[in-house]
Structure 1
């Protein structure tokens, strides 16, 4: 499977830092990198957050990030594509999935808007905002439709599916019915090295919490509720579960950006319990641990939803009305 633009950018930056093409102390600016690679800012922002969590770059008393694990005298200079060469080879971004960078931004705007109510989506206005063809915007909308964020009303008319309390409860109910079954199946077949890898990531992030990026939490959620669930080896059930993804998207686009990260462990203990059961090949217990996790998670997410609906500030984009 081809890498997404975000994954390609992450690899290019990491290689260039490791090879010394991006020297320690060099200032990295989100807009500068987005311009060099011809990408929107959203995937660049998430990639820099991921590198920060891995301590390859750091914050400092200024705009952007510094290359290196700790602040030092910043090196400011204009970056070019040559700075992202790794081991003597040009860093390239294969744009076979060029629409994904825009899709990340549209997803962010639409998911947050869905918490405020129902909106009509104007496909022409969307294509004008991002200066892309209707083919690209239509592909983005089909992706959002597949994960239950928008729905087609008729012909070229689209609507944002509102994420209210009732729908959130129904989505959780569907997850409680399907995810434990998939986790139980995955427990019997998932390679132990993959399980151990996910456990290590959780432990490393828990040790640094709350000094982590929202993008890192989203990645850990994906490790369990997407990557591991997919190992349940039932594509029909997996496709059904894709319709419940607005639950995960809500936290992805709220935590660390629109609302602060929770003071306490958001889910690390629960996820570790599930993966430890899986490592012991205790399939029934792993499914039960996931069921308990989902039962406790719903109330927290309902609270976040209500708080954002009542108090969250949001500029509704022009393509929604």
Structure 2
């Protein structure tokens, strides 16, 4: 999100290339339009989507984390079998039809420079806020990344929408410090608003979407070590963003979005230490999703509430761990405010 006006429009144009590729491939696999065992390679898929290999690689990694793709001794990934078996490789010519598309896909017209730097900025800010108060030098960031200041500004605006940065009265970009009080305030908002958003939008959640999420969480519970920081972030996004987006009150959703900083910081924490999700987190997710699958919205809302309270305690514990660590080396554009 780079503009409040986008809250009332479709989000397709603002989603990153890798998310678009991931979602289209995931849908095609779920519908059985891609045969189990088909070998997917970055190059052919990139050509079909009209993009570079980088977002394709990211999409493949996310699908692998979700159990929809398998690695094997050859190049690329195998499309998983619905029953979990690892199929034999099928090396068939890849085409739009093989991917379930009726016609060639147009190139994904998205702001490539902003996309390219967004995750690097997000990672730097997410780590920095746990260690103090920082100013982000827009000009220096543009120089470091080799992009325009406009691209940096667009990426920082998206981070502002998620509460990671703010703009001072003098138009300086500021980040941090992340305090226990700030975390508690974010969770206080989420405890009040997320169950309400889930209730309000539940009727528009498709059975297919709920079943797919249940399958993903079950795979993660069976093998937590197979879920890395990115995989966990996707599970969190499914529950705390995607499943709430059907609520009709867009102001409610904007407020929730701006209280999601703990999710981003937790992602940075798991990434920095190469950690896998705690089993308790996954079981809490399952309780919400299974209740939704059983059409029991009251139980689902209560389970979501319990999960948020438990997640707050875990996030505060991680803050304590970060507090005793030495300040990491940060990019030059992150300038500490004494």
Into which bin does the TM-score normalised by the smaller protein fall? Answer: 0.7 to 0.9
Cα distance change, pair 237–19 in 1 and its aligned pair in 2 (3 A) = closer
Partner of 2:135: 120
CA contact (8 A) 1:147 1:246 kept: yes
1:292 is paired with a residue of what secondary structure? helix
CA contact (8 A) 2:130 2:177 kept: yes
Cα distance change, pair 158–235 in 1 and its aligned pair in 2 (3 A) = same
1:250 is paired with a residue of what secondary structure? helix
1:277 and 1:103 map into 2 onto residues whose CA distance is: 35
Cα distance change, pair 175–131 in 1 and its aligned pair in 2 (3 A) = same
CA contact (8 A) 2:229 2:275 kept: no
Q: TM-score scaled to structure 1, two decimals?
A: 0.77
1:310 aligned residue (305, 324, 332): 324
Cα distance change, pair 234–164 in 1 and its aligned pair in 2 (3 A) = same
Runs of 4+ deviating beyond 4 Å: 8-15, 23-26, 36-39, 64-70, 83-93
CA contact (8 A) 1:115 1:163 kept: yes
Determine if the alignment matches structure 1 residue 297 to structure 2 residue 311.
yes
CA RMSD of aligned residues (A): 3.5
Partner of 1:240: 255
CA drift of 1:256 comes to 4.2
Cα distance change, pair 162–48 in 1 and its aligned pair in 2 (3 A) = farther
Partner of 1:168: 183
Partner of 2:200: 185
Partner of 2:293: 279
2:233 aligned residue (204, 218, 231): 218
2:135 is paired with a residue of what secondary structure? strand
Determine if the alignment matches structure 1 residue 5 to structure 2 residue 17.
yes
1:255 and 1:157 map into 2 onto residues whose CA distance is: 29
CA contact (8 A) 1:8 1:93 kept: no
1:123 and 1:314 map into 2 onto residues whose CA distance is: 21
1:115 and 1:231 map into 2 onto residues whose CA distance is: 32
Partner of 1:73: none
1:10 and 1:280 map into 2 onto residues whose CA distance is: 27
Partner of 1:49: 61
Q: Could you list the runs of 5+ residues in structure 1 that have no partner in the other structure?
A: 30-35, 71-82
Partner of 2:90: none
CA drift of 1:65 comes to 7.2
1:144 and 1:194 map into 2 onto residues whose CA distance is: 27
Determine if the alignment matches structure 1 residue 195 to structure 2 residue 207.
no
TM-superposition CA deviations, 1:259-308 (whole Å, max 9, x none) = 4224x414221112112222333333222111111111111111112212
Q: TM-score scaled to structure 2, two decimals?
A: 0.74
Cα distance change, pair 117–283 in 1 and its aligned pair in 2 (3 A) = same
Partner of 1:229: 244
CA contact (8 A) 2:130 2:176 kept: no
CA contact (8 A) 1:19 1:86 kept: no
Q: Could you list the runs of 5+ residues in structure 2 that have no partner in the other structure?
A: 1-11, 44-49, 81-85, 87-92
Partner of 2:46: none
2:196 and 2:68 map into 1 onto residues whose CA distance is: 37
CA drift of 1:44 comes to 6.5
Partner of 1:136: 151
CA drift of 1:160 comes to 0.7
Partner of 1:58: 71
